[in-house]
Structure 1
Amino acid sequence: MISELIDEHSLTTVKCMGNIVELQALEHMNLDARIKILKNHRYMVISTGEVFDMARSVKKSDNVKSLRKTFRRLRERINSNFSGSGNELFVTLTFDSKLGERPYLGDVELIRKRYKDFVRRMKKKFGNDLVFIKVIEPHADGHAHLHVLIKFLELKRVFISPDEFKCFWRWGFVKIHKILGNTNVGAYLTAYLTDVELDSEALAYIVSRGISGPIDVVKKGEKKFIKGGRLHYYPRDFHLFTCSRNAKFPVVSRERKMDIKKELSAATLSFSKQYDVHIGSFSNTIQVESYVLPD
């Protein structure tokens, strides 16, 4: 059974993302900004005016930590726009070498051009009231394919067959996934994108990259997956996802939990977690609760 962890008197950071409301409470909360982010990977210490270069991730573990933060932002953007409604689609778009060049992750311009043409064809058919979120996923061999969420704002329900979809995506196989009725599309999709099936290819890649430490294996149906295993396939500073301009952002506020109890009274608590963070001599306790609002 999932239990509430956050005291009703606690000051929380509230993120409203479509039908998902997430609360986060910190034992020690700093409400004053100490730094200001600048251009060109630099930041300024507000109290002194000093400007420094940001540290860039060098170790594999640093890159994985950075990617986890990126996937958290992706999950928030997805939940702010998609809720498993009938007017939403989740599709996988692949590249077939028989139909054209099969790009690697580094072939950014080619991927961008192919995707831009796909969006143009979709809008020509269905109009401009479409919301897109695109994610690039790597294979172990370095080649790329795309996952795209599409919302048809002017429709209540949408159905497009794989054969019809080939008119919009002309570079490979198309797979349409079911998300209808999924109350947390962001969590579903980020798990789908980060876990990799446990097979000889995945294990060979992990060994070849010198990745050490325990492997977290989860079972989904009849198959086993390495939890977070695909994160090791991404290069450093990779631009993981893009959103169309009309895609919404989470609405963030600071509220005492007691002040939003009324809004949460009809919601279902779907997740709660407490964990400790230690940085040098400083430690903090973080509590998180996630709620699903009714339709």
Structure 2
Amino acid sequence: MSVIKRKIDVPDTIDLYTTATLKTMGNIQEISLSSNRNNGKTIVPLSKEEFVVVSTGEVKKVQHHALDRTENLRNLEKSMRSLSDLINSNITFDNAEQCRFITFTYKENMRDSKKLYNDFKNFNKRFKRFLSKKGYKYEYIITVEAQERGAFHLHGIFIFNRKAPYIDNKIVADIWGLGFVSIKSIDKNIDNIGKYLTAYLTDFPIDNDLEVSPEIVGGEIKEISVMGNSKKIIKGARLKMLPVGIRMFRHSRGIKKPTVCRLPYGEAIELVSKQGFTKVGEYALEISDIERDFKSNYVKQIYKKHINTYESIC
């Protein structure tokens, strides 16, 4: 792999005219900028079977192969970042009371991802009919979670058109019809709900009386506090349990996407400040591509809003 990333110190000053990317996701905004943009093409496709290497002019055959576990894990990690951005774009402290986090389980050890999403499709039709009689509509984001034994669970974030209705677990379980259901509210005091929920879906809890297989140990072991109790987890370990090529999440049509725009760094700073966002973190990386003789310094700044108003700025 020719691309190398190295953490460096954040520069003391940044040219206000440098072009930056501003990404808005509900209560969170990110400003990122790069000293160089890697726009050159390394290959140009000629057909489904051939491509040309730009630097040498050499024509090569396309190698069709399945994803290996390492590439699959990178793709899953990218999917989880996208999922986190999507969640933050749709759930804020202003609408947390309209949201519910629902877990769908199976009675049996279900390992078929196509069946999983098809089962949800059928559930969604029945659930919509049930709630429409009460005057409710909703948008959803659903994602798959794998357990160590290989069984799939389904998690859904439901965003209602007003304060979420109280629905007994048993009623939703009957509509689901395939196993148990757990319904939870979302704490509006969590200011990065996307990171919180994706961590829930990817980190593996270490139970004192549970023997953890060697395949998932290798991630970072951390001790965290949950409701005042100490708990150990393996960071990102659940991703290793997912099969190659699985589609991690889906969502309804009305779900909002992150807003992304490019503008001078000084204008981006001015806009986030006017909207009441404050900087809560930043980091810098040196990115180099040996094969292409390319080097760039990358800076990202994270801003959060802590008041109960929000509007898009792009």
TM-score band by shorter chain is 0.7 to 0.9
* Alignment partner of 1:289 is 2:301: yes
Counterpart amino acid of 1:192? Y
* Alignment partner of 1:244 is 2:244: no
Counterpart for residue 179 of structure 2 = 172
- Equivalences for 1:1-295 in 2 at 5 Å? 7=14, 8-30=16-38, 57-58=67-68, 60-84=69-93, 85=95, 86-97=97-108, 102-104=109-111, 107-127=112-132, 129-152=137-160, 154-181=161-188, 182-199=190-207, 204-205=212-213, 207=214, 209=215, 215-221=220-226, 222-265=230-273, 266-280=276-290, 281-293=293-305, 294=307, 295=309
Counterpart amino acid of 2:222? V
Distance 2:38 2:24 in 1: 21
Equivalent residue of 1:168, what SS? Answer: helix
Cα distance change of structure 1 residues 292 and 278 upon mapping to structure 2, 3 Å threshold: same
Equivalent residue of 1:111, what SS? Answer: helix
Cα distance change of structure 1 residues 272 and 168 upon mapping to structure 2, 3 Å threshold: farther
Equivalent residue of 1:166, what SS? Answer: helix
**Given that residues 17 and 77 in structure 1 are in contact (C-alpha distance below 8 angstroms), is that contact kept between their aligned partners in structure 2?**
yes
Cα distance change of structure 1 residues 75 and 124 upon mapping to structure 2, 3 Å threshold: same
Shift of 1:13: 1.4
Instruction: Give me the TM-score of the superposition, normalised by structure 1.
Output: 0.81
**Given that residues 19 and 262 in structure 2 are in contact (C-alpha distance below 8 angstroms), is that contact kept between their aligned partners in structure 1?**
yes
Shift of 1:112: 2.1
Distance 2:156 2:46 in 1: 31
Equivalent residue of 1:76, what SS? Answer: helix
Equivalent residue of 2:150, what SS? Answer: coil
Counterpart amino acid of 1:177? K
Q: Which has the higher mean CA deviation after the structures are superposed, 140-149 or 277-286?
A: 277-286
**Given that residues 169 and 181 in structure 2 are in contact (C-alpha distance below 8 angstroms), is that contact kept between their aligned partners in structure 1?**
yes
Q: Which has the higher mean CA deviation after the structures are superposed, 172-181 or 159-168?
A: 159-168
Cα distance change of structure 1 residues 180 and 279 upon mapping to structure 2, 3 Å threshold: same
Equivalent residue of 1:237, what SS? Answer: coil
Instruction: Give me the TM-score of the superposition, normalised by structure 2.
Output: 0.76
Distance 2:299 2:157 in 1: 30
Equivalent residue of 2:118, what SS? Answer: helix
Shift of 1:65: 1.7
**Given that residues 18 and 83 in structure 1 are in contact (C-alpha distance below 8 angstroms), is that contact kept between their aligned partners in structure 2?**
yes
Instruction: Report percent identity of matched pairs.
Output: 27
Distance 2:179 2:102 in 1: 12
Counterpart amino acid of 2:127? M
Structure 1 unmatched runs, 5+: none
Cα distance change of structure 1 residues 69 and 174 upon mapping to structure 2, 3 Å threshold: same
**Given that residues 42 and 54 in structure 1 are in contact (C-alpha distance below 8 angstroms), is that contact kept between their aligned partners in structure 2?**
no
Shift of 1:80: 1.8
Shift of 1:271: 3.1
Shift of 1:148: 0.4
The alignment of Structure 1 onto Structure 2 pairs a total of residues equal to 282
Equivalent residue of 1:171, what SS? Answer: coil
- Which entry has the higher C-alpha Rg, 1 or 2? 2
Superposition RMSD in Å: 3.5
